[in-house]
Structure 1
Amino acid sequence: MARVVHYHHPQAENFSLKYSSASPADLLPRQTELDGATKLIGYPFDTPIYVLYEGDTEIEDAGDIDFDREWLSDRITELPREGQVVAFRLVELLEAAVDVREEDEFRLYKEFEPQKIRQALDHVSWGAALPQVAGEVMSNLILHHSLPNANHRTGIAMLQFYIESKDPEFNMPRTHVDDATWREWVDPYIVESKRLITVRRNNVRFKQIQELGVDLVERKDGIQIRLAEFDLDMHWREALSTYAGRHEEHCTEFAHSVLERADREDLLSQAGPTKQDFIEYLETGLVERDFREMF
């Protein structure tokens, strides 16, 4: 039977795995080193192991979102114009996602970090083939994780907007959460994305618990990571680069699937719009768009 350890504490999902050991005594010094609150769990396997979790941030209700224009402007004034445009659209998408879903089902896990949007845009191969750029736009916005939630949903929306900036008549295949289409092909892409992201940030921790005999790490929402399927034996800096590359490839595959399902294979080999063209479309082409229809 597989030995499963939770990545997020099962009773407090804002606590995540930090250290593990075969002895709780080994983790006591670690508790004093950590700045945040901690929780210790013993897993009663044949050979027990112990996992120390640290709280990252307090989880807030979606009803606490209050991104008014003045508040947002104060936080993005140092960004270049393209970063400001993307930040405004991302916030509008987040607000639309919250509006569509029940607020008590939608949680805020971190602060909004608009400065990460500039970093995301700087890691895109502008001028390459359209599906590659669209995938990189989606991937890097997800990897840099600027929003307090819905980074995957808004990343998919930005992929859609990028394709539309090439052809405003593009008809995006349905990706709504509440239908069978989502479960059939969109959700598996997101689940694998979350696996890659989690391994990318935790390869050293996961290597340690694998050596303790753990087979699976389970994230919240029941997403399981089978450790044997991933190369964990590398420096954490190498893991950041390696798995960022795999994540970009994964999102580029998603872009290919989107174009194929939309019967737009004609766009697969075309060059993507420039960054300037994309930003201009975000600024002027979406003025009257109701983003709630996307969720």
Structure 2
Amino acid sequence: MGRLVHYHHPCADNFSLTFSSGSAADVIERRREADGETKLVGYPFETPVYVLYEGTRASESASDIDYEPDWLEDRLSGRPRATQVTAFRLVELLEAAVHAREAEEFRLYKDFEPDQIHRALENVSWGASLPIVAGELMSNLVLRHALPNANHRTAIAMLQFCIESADPTFEMPSTHVDDDTWKAWVDPYIVESKRLITVRRNNVRFEHLRRLGIDIVERKGGIRIELDDYELDMHWREALSQYAKRHEEHCISFAREILEQADRTDLVDRTGPTEAEFVEYLETGVVERDFTELF
């Protein structure tokens, strides 16, 4: 096996890799400059590598989630109708996911950021072919990371609603985590999505690790990123753009795979919804749905 370091601290996954060096003194100096909590790990390879992990806010149990309607309305006040409707549905999906699974399975890692939903909707090619619209919607919701957790699961549900808005007779193939088909075709898409978004935010750090002789970065969940599989030597702004495009293409492929799994290849060339049509479906077409059945 190649030389592996962890992206999230192995004993505290709210700490993530921010700096690495072959010199312990360099990492200790960087640690002194850090504002928040840090952890330092030395990897005892033949040529040692030292990694600094910095903490984000402490995660909370999803059982603590409490988005009161008045609070949510206040957070969304003044934002476009499309953002408001999509945000309400995303929060309902998050609450359903927590209810359907064990609450402790979900940790809340960040605050709810409705402005990121607005930005996600702005980057969808509304009215293009259905797989493009649905895939870009999923991709941008994941990339913008508006919810405190479950962004992939809720984005897949939104992809489903997007397809249904173009054809209400569409029946989604099973994507339940307890279903045997999950690991066969859904899980690989989610795993690669997580690799892409991690590389997108860390290309400079990962390129430095590669130059230190590291072959693999492992993030939480046992997801391994083989550094030689990704182009890393570029400016971070270029990486944000390039890997966002790759992530969109990946999610569009996922949308096409869903249509194939559902035996609905007739929808591959169907025109996708406009933003107004999608929002109208969210507002009126899923009102009676039990969202827990999606998870």
Match of 1:175 in 2: 175
Which whole-Å CA distance do the structure 2 matches of 1:288 and 1:33 have between them?
53
Match of 2:57 in 1: 57
- How high is the TM-score relative to the length of structure 2? 0.99
Give how far 1:36 is off.
1.8
Amino acid at match of 1:220: K
Give how far 1:28 is off.
2.5
Amino acid at match of 2:252: T
Moved over 3 A (4+): none
Taking the TM superposition and a 5 Å limit, the aligned residue runs for 1:8-157 are 8-157=8-157
Amino acid at match of 2:92: E
Which whole-Å CA distance do the structure 2 matches of 1:85 and 1:35 have between them?
38
**Unaligned 5+ runs, structure 1:** none
Q: Which secondary structure does the structure 1 equivalent of 2:225 belong to?
A: strand
Which whole-Å CA distance do the structure 1 matches of 2:270 and 2:182 have between them?
27
Which whole-Å CA distance do the structure 2 matches of 1:244 and 1:99 have between them?
31
Once the two structures are superposed, residues 105-131 of structure 1 have per-residue CA deviations (whole angstroms, 9 ceiling, x without a partner) of: 221111111110000000011111110
Once the two structures are superposed, residues 198-228 of structure 1 have per-residue CA deviations (whole angstroms, 9 ceiling, x without a partner) of: 0000000000011000000000010000000
Amino acid at match of 1:291: F
Task: Say if 2:16 and 2:53, in contact at 8 Å, map to a contact too.
Answer: yes
Match of 1:201 in 2: 201
Task: Say if 2:174 and 2:181, in contact at 8 Å, map to a contact too.
Answer: yes
Moved more, 80-89 or 99-108: 99-108
Task: Say if 2:106 and 2:150, in contact at 8 Å, map to a contact too.
Answer: no
Percent identity, aligned pairs only, is 67
Match of 2:241 in 1: 241
Which whole-Å CA distance do the structure 2 matches of 1:270 and 1:290 have between them?
27
- How high is the TM-score relative to the length of structure 1? 0.99
Task: Say if 2:8 and 2:219, in contact at 8 Å, map to a contact too.
Answer: yes
Give how far 1:78 is off.
2.8
Taking the TM superposition and a 5 Å limit, the aligned residue runs for 1:182-193 are 182-193=182-193
Q: 2:9 aligned with 1:6, yes or no?
A: no
Amino acid at match of 1:250: H
Q: Which secondary structure does the structure 1 equivalent of 2:41 belong to?
A: strand
- RMSD over aligned CA atoms reads 0.7
Once the two structures are superposed, residues 250-270 of structure 1 have per-residue CA deviations (whole angstroms, 9 ceiling, x without a partner) of: 000000001111111111111
Amino acid at match of 1:147: L
Q: Which secondary structure does the structure 2 equivalent of 1:170 belong to?
A: coil
Amino acid at match of 2:85: V
Amino acid at match of 1:230: Y
Q: Which secondary structure does the structure 2 equivalent of 1:36 belong to?
A: coil
Give how far 1:95 is off.
0.3
Give how far 1:104 is off.
1.7
Give how far 1:85 is off.
0.3
Amino acid at match of 2:161: F
Once the two structures are superposed, residues 147-206 of structure 1 have per-residue CA deviations (whole angstroms, 9 ceiling, x without a partner) of: 000000001000000000011111000000001111110000000000000000000000
Amino acid at match of 2:165: S
Which whole-Å CA distance do the structure 2 matches of 1:150 and 1:259 have between them?
23
